[in-house]
Chain A
Amino acid sequence: GAVVSQHPSWVICKSGTSVKIECRSLDFQATTMFWYRQFPKQSLMLMATSNEGSKATYEQGVEKDKFLINHASLTLSTLTVTSAHPEDSSFYICSARDGRERVIQYFGAGTRLSVL
């Protein structure tokens, strides 16, 4: 099946710094990418949806200036957590949809962010 690579898998940073998480579709063109946040033993919370070449659509309550999403190409989307604080510590998951395949979302392995 299709592969979505997410990097890094784990990052520790100091409060106030910015962190960038990359999400790549390795063998397909991802016309749409999704970014989720997941707290321990909880469900996935959709943060934003991005389409290649256009601005991301953020879900209600998600600060777009804090969580910058860039979907610059059909194979790469990035999430930058700006001025990270301990409350931003979480598990972030990206997902991509193949432009040729209507139904299936492919998920990255996730990034664990720890803000000290």
Chain B
Amino acid sequence: AQTVTQSQPEMSVQEAETVTLSCTYDTSESDYYLFWYKQPPSRQMILVIRQEAYKQQNATENRFSVNFQKAAKSFSLKISDSQLGDAAMYFCAYRSYHNTNAGKSTFGDGTTLTVKP
């Protein structure tokens, strides 16, 4: 079974600064997807960024980028120019590529990010 580990329960960053959230995972599969989700106080889960394992290029979405290290099974999220609205709980998630797993995602325990003005 796959596992996802987020070793930082809490992180804080000064507004306009950069912060990196860590995520490692364990899998024996070669094809899979990785995601970062944001859950603000409203508790609505929002997809921040996704990465296909077969792609070597790191995904980027505006101020959000990832450092995907497949051999190390590491998938960190970098938030640049942090804004107050970035304050939320962030979840790293893994999903197998194959249908046999019915598209189930495995979530990490989350990292609570505080943005200081």
Which residues of A come within 8 Å of B, CB atoms? 32, 34, 38, 41-44, 46, 49, 51, 57, 91, 93, 95, 97, 102-105, 107, 109-110
Docked Cα-Cα span, A51 to B104, in Å, equals: 12
Determine if B43 and A46 form an interchain contact, defined as CB atoms under 8 angstroms apart: no
Chain B residues lying within 8 Å of A102, measured Cβ to Cβ, are: 103
Nearest residue (CB) in A for B89 is A41
Q: Determine whether the beta carbon of B107 is less than 8 Å from that of A41.
A: no
Contacting pair B47 A34 (CB below 8 A): no
What B residues does A34 contact at CB under 8 A? 104-105
Q: Tell me whether B42 and A109 are in contact (CB under 8 A).
A: yes
Query: Size range of the interface on B?
Result: 20 to 34
Main SS class of interface, B: strand
B107 adjacent to A44 (CB under 8 Å): yes
Q: Is the CB of A43 within 8 A of B109?
A: yes
Known: A43-B91, A43-B110. A104 touches B50 (CB 8 A): yes
Which of B43, B45, B50, B89 is within 8 Å of A103, CB to CB?
B50
How near does chain B come to A49, taking the closest CB pair, in angstroms? 5
- Please indicate the chain A residues that have their CB under 8 angstroms from the CB of B110 in the complex: 41-43
Quick one: closest A residue to B46, CB to CB? Answer: A107
| B56 proximal to A (CB < 8 A) | no
Contact B45 A57 (CB under 8 A): no
- Flag whether B112 is at the interface (Cβ < 8 A): yes
Task: Report the minimum CB–CB distance from A69 to chain B (whole Å).
Answer: 14
> Which of A32, A38, A43 has the most C-beta atoms of chain B within 10 angstroms of its own C-beta?
A43
Complex contacts, A109 vs chain B, CB 8 Å: 42-44
Distance (whole angstroms) from the CB of A42 to the closest CB of chain B: 7
Residues of chain B with a CB closer than 8 A to A97's CB: 103
In the complex, what's the smallest C-beta–C-beta distance from B44 to chain A, in angstroms?
Answer: 5
- A-chain residues with CB within 8 Å of residue B95 when the two chains form the complex: 103
When distances are taken between beta carbons in the complex, the residues of chain B under 8 Å from A104 are 47, 50
